[in-house]
Structure 1
Amino acid sequence: MYNIGMITIGFPEKEASTYIAEKGKEAFEVFAVDVDQLSNELENKDAIVIFTDNKDSVVTEICQSIIEIKRQSAAYVWVLSKNRDKRKRTIYLQLGADGNIDTDCSAKEIELIVLNALKRRETIHKPIEGKRVVTEEQAGSKEAEKQLFEMNDNNLAVRVGEKEISLTRCEYRLFRLLQSRAGEAFTYEEIYQSIWQQSYNNQKYRIANVIFRIREKLEQHAVNPNYLKTVRSVGYMICE
């Protein structure tokens, strides 16, 4: 039996429950997941479905949830929303969501989307784990992790030990900004105004998207992505 986590963001939990077909409960068990306790509630979850009204006021919370789930778990993530905003749906996919589902889907359709994906993963022998499995090569040596980042303005790259990681211009500017005050948090507003040089109107999702891409590149080069730390309700920082 599979364990499915259900997150509701701007979506009544009672209404969300109607999308879980009774028949599907023979194959999976559904658990309500508290967004504020993600670290403790992702263990042994095979998939997470985020139910949302997709209003502008909750987009940042959805983005942060997707990022945290993908960082801490190998679980599938789907966003089921009432609003078909193409821009938001694209952002969710860029952050690592496995798909978007509309509320006009039947409970049976949703059940099959989830179960077919989970069964396919089983077939190709990639078992789910509560926490992301990190190989010895990905983890890197402790000695390498202790080395400081070196910024290369000419190459738009950051060097850690012998590894040089190429970034886009936007990623590099954000990384350099955080590195300029390592160990101290930058607020969302400080980051946004510095990188995009525009007035900040709570566009946390744009910052979160860039942070996610940087973390991905660090992880691909066997560098601990947790160097970039989320400071809840404040912004981001690079750990010393």
Structure 2
Amino acid sequence: MNLLGVLNHNYSDTDQISSYLDAFSAEHYEKEDISAEQLETHELAHDAIIIFSGKGGKNSREVYLLIIQLRQLTDAIIMVFQEQKEAIDKVMNLQLGADINTDPSFTIKEVHLLLENLVKRKKKVDQLRESIQKEMEQVSKVTPPFISESFNDGSMSVRLANRDIYFTSKEYMLIRLLQENCNQVCTYQEIYEFVWNRPYENQKIYITNVVFRIREKFRHNGLSLEKYIYNIRGVGYRFHCDEPSSEN
């Protein structure tokens, strides 16, 4: 059963709306009117949302804003059913995040098939994304073997979990320095003078930016470095090479 959210924005032919929604109900859609409170509290869990839009002018601008708000709250399929055909409105709706425009010239069956195809495609993508996320979570549970043999100085890469992760020269020099000083604190000054090869004058922000990029590269590969690279506040960083402790 798919959950279909409904928003009537000044659409005059309520009988026509009812006929379309009755057809959707017959096709295994549970429909729900979306309230202003739901929009304010971000409680949206719909597979698809239909905005029945009245005629243009001020109404069109309000629908534009509604699409923007919905797109910030949900990745549900958004269909705009327009009472009046306005080419500029259709273009703006799509540019602002709607997935499809329809109008009374579409038959009930056409509208249903358009929405059904989009919802099915979205669910397949969601299932694939969930599968990938679970796989990455499993990989992240494996304790990476941060040993010298994992590092390739020639390609500036680290091989972990059967994949090579490549770094810029500064990123690689920094993580290499930390790894070579396992379980010892490398001060900001030591890191900066080693990586940048110039005197340290409180350029801590440069170091934190590089550490952030290193962590992001590992995170994108399903590995978390927060439990291995510890920030010693006001001092520097320490690479924890043994089994991660409970430190923050």
TM-score (norm 1): 0.48
Larger radius of gyration: 2
The normalised TM-score by structure 2 is 0.47
